[in-house]
């Protein structure tokens, strides 16, 4: 049994025995935030419906607009501004009620001010009071509903935390999942991507990871955590920092905070929305081209239309990338040990054309839709990729940090011309510097700029 199979079996049994979480806490929180906001919106509709029972609609208008039409956008704005849907309000029902009622009161004052300022007609005082009083009651009820669902789905804990033990004793607190990595024979050995992949899958569903590790493994754990999109901390028992970004605490221990994750929830939503819009638009527009290329590949040489290969993705978790097959099937390089050369005899006639024009990358749009890739990000590499005679991850330990975000179809390195084979270590180091720069400076504007600048470099002298 090879190391990957051994690691997988240990991981499966350990995860089962120690009840590692299955569904990402961030997804549950996003649902609860949206559900809470929806209930608050429905509460205002309910309040308006109650008012209609005591007053006709014409007495519930402000400036020829129904009172609900004027008040609802203002209420939503104040809800968002006051953070009525947040980790704090999930964990503290009273705080959630206070913030939502505060947003409602602010909305009432603004509506009164607008009605007075613009002389927007006479609104029934009884209908006005009933609308907002009933809304307030329904908002309070909705918070009890959200709180009940929160306790059922997340056990009353908004931030999912896992304690990974690697040779250092640490007592778990209530509500904290524990995974004994040392007992499972796992640690982030940077020379074994399968180890990195297995550990990444253990922590993928959590928001916060605390490592209780032996001293000699601390540097490796530090590098491992920095390459992930979640908060990572190492228990302190000596005065040793590995690029820590802050100090935290766990039980009666101090911790050094190694990473917070590069993007917050709002930024992740922005990036994902951009990915979906661009990928769907591209697939619709390019669908005739995709069909023609698929037919040409099938006619040119025997074998499948698509080439699938394992690549290193976000959080150093491996995934299977899609590309149009550009090589003869008998010469395909599943592990990516050999970079494609300018006159590579493995490349077919059609393959040479689609590689030259980057058309072979288009099936990765499906990886974007599946959530494995982004339109913009560090390019995903095969496990066997070489820079000169060295595997990529052995060129620099910083290589693992580039995977804190999803890999992209294009990226900062690509628009700067760093493409093609990596014949020397310097070829990889240039790309790595671009990737780390992208991680440090991400914005939705930067993604848009990179997408625009990608178009002129689709056909590139180093694309072969």
Q: Are 20 and 31 within one domain?
A: no
Would you say 316 and 200 are in contact if contact means Cβ atoms under 8 Å apart? yes
Q: Which one-letter DSSP state was computed for residue 327?
A: B
Residue 464 lies in a domain: no
Q: Are 127 and 187 within one domain?
A: no
CATH code of the domain covering residue 206: 3.40.50
pLDDT at 114: 76
Q: Are 253 and 136 within one domain?
A: no
Please tell me the distance from the alpha carbon of residue 256 to that of residue 253, in angstroms, as a whole number.
Answer: 10
Q: Which of 432, 364, 370 is nearest to 395 (CA)?
A: 432
Q: Are 116 and 147 within one domain?
A: yes
Residue 460's pLDDT band (cuts 50, 70, 90): low
Mean pLDDT for 179-185 is: 90
The helix/strand/coil state of 167 is strand
Q: Are 308 and 435 within one domain?
A: yes
Residue 342's pLDDT band (cuts 50, 70, 90): low
Please tell me the distance from the alpha carbon of residue 165 to that of residue 142, in angstroms, as a whole number.
Answer: 40
Please tell me the distance from the alpha carbon of residue 381 to that of residue 436, in angstroms, as a whole number.
Answer: 15
Please tell me the distance from the alpha carbon of residue 421 to that of residue 342, in angstroms, as a whole number.
Answer: 9
Q: Are 15 and 35 within one domain?
A: no
Burial of 437 (0-12, 13-18, 19+ CB in 10 A): middle
| Residue finishing a domain among 219, 234, 259 | 259
Its pTM stands at 0.72
Residue 269 lies in a domain: yes
Would you say 195 and 7 are in contact if contact means Cβ atoms under 8 Å apart? yes
Q: Are 20 and 58 within one domain?
A: no
Would you say 126 and 8 are in contact if contact means Cβ atoms under 8 Å apart? no
Structural domains of the chain, count:
3
**How many CB atoms within 10 Å of residue 157?**
16
Residue 463 lies in a domain: no
Q: Could you read off the pLDDT of 233-245 as tens digits, one per residue?
A: 988 754 455 566 5
pLDDT at 79: 93
| Residue entry with tokens 């490349």 | 347
The helix/strand/coil state of 269 is helix
Residue 121 lies in a domain: yes
Please tell me the distance from the alpha carbon of residue 350 to that of residue 326, in angstroms, as a whole number.
Answer: 7
Residue 179 lies in a domain: yes
Residue 333's pLDDT band (cuts 50, 70, 90): low
Q: Are 88 and 50 within one domain?
A: yes
State which residues form the domain around 225. Answer: 3-24+160-259
Expressed in angstroms, the distance from the first to the final Cα of the chain is 38
Q: Are 439 and 326 within one domain?
A: yes
Please tell me the distance from the alpha carbon of residue 230 to that of residue 90, in angstroms, as a whole number.
Answer: 20
| Residue finishing a domain among 205, 227, 259 | 259
| Residue finishing a domain among 259, 288, 312 | 259
Q: Are 342 and 448 within one domain?
A: yes
Q: Are 284 and 401 within one domain?
A: yes
Q: Are 141 and 239 within one domain?
A: no
């Amino acid at each position: 049994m090879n190391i990957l199979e051994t690691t997988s079996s240990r991981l499966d049994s350990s995860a089962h025995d120690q009840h590692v979480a299955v569904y990402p806490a961030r997804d549950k929180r996003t649902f609860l935030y949206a559900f809470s906001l929806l209930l608050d919106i429905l509460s205002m509709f309910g309040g308006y419906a109650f008012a209609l029972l005591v007053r006709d609609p014409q007495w519930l208008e402000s400036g020829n607009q129904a009172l609900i039409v004027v008040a609802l956008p203002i209420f939503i704005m104040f809800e968002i501004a006051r953070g009525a849907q947040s980790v704090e309000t999930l964990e503290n029902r009273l705080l959630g009620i206070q913030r939502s009622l505060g947003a409602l009161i602010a909305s009432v004052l603004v509506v009164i001010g607008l009605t007075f300022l613009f002389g927007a007609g006479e609104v029934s005082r009884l209908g006005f009071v009933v609308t907002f009083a009933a809304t307030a009651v329904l908002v309070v009820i909705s918070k009890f509903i959200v709180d009940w669902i929160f306790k059922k789905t997340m056990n009353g804990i908004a931030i999912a935390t896992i304690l990974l033990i690697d040779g250092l004793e640490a007592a778990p607190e209530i509500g904290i999942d524990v995974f004994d990595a040392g007992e499972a024979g796992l640690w982030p050995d940077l020379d074994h991507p399968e180890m990195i992949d297995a550990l990444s899958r253990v922590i993928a569903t959590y928001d916060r990871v605390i490592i209780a590790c032996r001293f000699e493994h601390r540097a490796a754990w530090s590098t491992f955590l920095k390459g992930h999109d979640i908060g990572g901390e190492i228990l302190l028992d000596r005065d040793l920092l590995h690029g820590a970004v802050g100090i935290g605490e766990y039980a009666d221990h101090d911790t050094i905070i190694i990473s917070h994750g590069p993007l917050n929830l709002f930024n992740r939503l922005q990036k994902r929305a951009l990915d979906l819009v661009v990928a769907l638009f591209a697939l619709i527009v390019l669908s005739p081209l995709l069909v023609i290329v698929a037919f040409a590949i099938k006619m040119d040489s025997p074998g499948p239309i698509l080439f699938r290969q394992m690549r290193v993705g976000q959080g150093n978790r491996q995934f299977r990338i899609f590309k149009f097959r550009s090589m003869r099937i008998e010469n395909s390089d599943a592990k990516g040990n050999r970079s494609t050369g300018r006159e590579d005899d493995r490349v077919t006639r059609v393959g040479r054309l689609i590689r030259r024009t980057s058309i072979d990358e288009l099936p990765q749009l499906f990886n974007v839709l599946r959530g494995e890739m982004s339109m913009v990000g560090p390019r995903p590499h095969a496990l066997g990729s070489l820079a000169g005679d060295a595997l990529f991850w052995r060129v620099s330990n910083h290589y693992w940090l580039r995977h804190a975000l999803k890999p992209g179809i294009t990226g900062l390195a690509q628009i700067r011309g760093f493409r093609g084979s990596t014949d020397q270590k310097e070829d990889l180091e240039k790309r790595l510097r671009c990737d780390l720069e992208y991680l440090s400076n991400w914005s939705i504007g930067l993604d848009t700029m990179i997408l625009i600048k990608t178009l002129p470099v689709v056909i590139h002298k180093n694309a072969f």
